[in-house]
Amino acid sequence: MNSSGLEGLDEELELFISDVRSRERDHSARIVELEAEVRRRDEELKALETGLAASESSRLSAEQEACARLGSLRAELSERDAASSRLALKAEELSARITALGKELERERSASREKDVYIQTAKSAVKGRDAEFEKVWRMLEEARAETASWKARTAERDSRLEAAAGENKTLALEIRKLNNSLQQAALGFSQKLALVRREAPSAGVARSGEAPDAGVPGPESAVREASPDPLGLAAALARRVSGFAGALRERAESRLKAPRGKDLKEPLGAIIRGLAALQERMEAAASLSGPAPLRLEPVDLGKITGEALSSAASTPGLPSFEPKFSAPAGLPPLRADRARLREALGHVLVNAAEAMPGGGRISVEISRSRGGQVVSVADDGPGVDAGNLPSLFEPFFSTKPGKLGLGLTIARSIIKSHGGDIAIYGGPGRGTRAEIFIPEAPEKG
């Protein structure tokens, strides 16, 4: 090989060695970098191992707490399961109780519906009669107010009549007499209305003391009356007032037709018109007194009495009492007006309950005696004062504030219309007993 060839080879070798050294330096720098990266990664790995160890410790602590909580929850769940079992048993008991109460409520509702039917029947039976009596009484009260007003106007009319009469003393004297008569009529009518309670005859007064042991009250054991019912009394009073008003009206009309009556046309005309209005009102009141006809049918006295007792025991506003009822089996039916007879029994029972404002017992017993049936109603109240016994059946008599005093009067009237009778026995401190007799063959008419 020549020298030029060797020189070229040496240059290439030097270039190769220079390149290798350059790469060695690059690789050394890269190694340094990699070693620094390895150290950094080692530090991160140590940090991760430390965090992982802490996390593992926390996880183990959490697992321990979770296990403890799970045990607590399992114990609580067991307790709740036991409580749920107890509640299920109670729910079954309550369901059975609710079913029983539902059946009892249905029975009570059925009984209540029956009571409502009975109450409606009784109300429809007494509605017309009570309305008639109230209308008559209202007319009488209006008439009393009108006559009282006439008394006040009469004084004014007297002065006007005297002024109109002037010097004619004879005519003035006749006018004064007419006005005096009108004043006396008005005063008399007011007094009759005020004394209507005392004028009414008694209606079935019993004597004070013990009742007979058995049988129906007779003349030897109780004083009885034959008083008209309240409508008859009011109608009789209305007819009397109407007749008196008619007589005064005729006198006033005759004075108006007299030769000098034209001077007194205005005052006499007012008197005549007032008397005509009063007479018309009283005639209308008298026309309402006709007795209502009975609707007779076969009825069970025991059933009617039991219904009346149940109705009185559940009447709102009435003092509560303990009812006791007994009736023999096989009682024959009576021919009676079911609604009217039940109304009469209701009045007697209400009167007995009102006699015991603090409560007590009402004993009702049915028996047979003298061709009829007897209903005995006894209460254990304070009894009846001897001074009140003669007035128990009088219209408008009552010792209870706010009461009209017609219950026993109406009861007596209904029982009498069936051919029966009623009497009351008792005395202070011994309670009161009412005995009602209904014949099995009621009297006609």
What does DSSP assign to residue 293? P
If we measure between CA atoms, which residue out of 152, 116, 444, 441 comes closest to residue 298? 441
Question: Cα 128 from chain centroid?
Answer: 21
Residue 171: per-residue pLDDT: 42
Contact status, residue 323 vs residue 360, Cβ threshold 8 Å: no
- Considering the four listed CATH numbers 1.20.120, 3.40.50, 1.10.3470, 1.20.140, the one that applies to the domain covering 128-203+226-286 is 1.20.120
- Residue 106 token pair: 């249905």
Which class for 76: exposed (0-12), middle (13-18), buried (19 or more C-beta within 10 A)? exposed
pLDDT profile of the chain (445 residues), mean per 10: 73 86 88 90 90 88 89 89 88 88 88 83 70 69 70 62 49 51 49 48 38 37 40 62 75 73 69 74 51 84 94 88 92 92 93 89 92 93 81 74 69 90 85 92 51
Residue 175: per-residue pLDDT: 46
Give me the CATH code for the 295-439 domain, please: 3.30.565.10
Sequence letter at residue 107: R
Contact status, residue 233 vs residue 391, Cβ threshold 8 Å: no
Residue 408: per-residue pLDDT: 86
Residue 361: per-residue pLDDT: 93
Residue 260: per-residue pLDDT: 60
Residue 216: per-residue pLDDT: 36
Helix 230-257 with 169-194: angle, nearest 10 deg: 170
What does DSSP assign to residue 264? G
Sequence ranges of the chain with CATH classification 3.30.565.10: 295-439
Sequence letter at residue 151: K
Contact status, residue 370 vs residue 216, Cβ threshold 8 Å: yes
Q: Name the β-bridge partners of 367.
A: 374
Question: Cα 29 from chain centroid?
Answer: 113
